[in-house]
Amino acid sequence: MGKYVAAVEDHLVLPARVRAAPGQERLFTLSGQAVPAPVSIRFLIDTGAKRTTLLPGIIRHLRPIVGCEGRLVTPHAARRTELVWVSLEFPEAKLASFPEVLVARMAMPPGLSQFHGLLGRDLLGRMHSFEYQGRRRRYILRDTLGWFDWLRRRP
């Protein structure tokens, strides 16, 4: 679908929009409840994070189905947390969306409070490529092969 190129200031940031998973939206509609509005968010790309996370306040707003409980290990501690199903879209980045993805509920540390969650290796692994160009101070995220990728020989 697309390629997203962004300048890097201090952090690798990816704008996104999160909403309730399609099945959850159907349940809200069938039960006569209002469907929670989608929320525009800013992910911090974290290649060291195994799983994508969202702030507890955003998860409370979406009222998603709890998928299961998981263990979250951070540099500061290890704890149990809920894993929930949500839908992620990237309209500003023009990348393919993820209709159903399991994310962990996690608060961000005070120094990273301007972000709404971490984009971890679980979703980065579903992308075609992630490239950081240090001298150009930018990153490139692709969800499919580019026009000239077929020319490159892979060993």
Q: How many CB atoms lie within 10 A of CB 137?
A: 10
How much is the pLDDT for 103? 94
How much is the pLDDT for 152? 53
How much is the pLDDT for 154? 52
Closest by CA to 44, choosing from 32, 54, 33, 59, is: 54
Give 10-residue mean pLDDT values along the chain (155 residues).
Answer: 77 93 93 95 92 95 86 76 93 90 91 93 87 82 66 51
How much is the pLDDT for 59? 95
Amino acid in the structure at residue 1: M
Q: pTM to 2 decimals?
A: 0.82
How much is the pLDDT for 117? 95
Which residue ranges form the domains of the chain, and what is each CATH number? 3-151 (2.40.70.10)
How much is the pLDDT for 41? 97
How much is the pLDDT for 120? 92
Tokens of 8: 């890097």
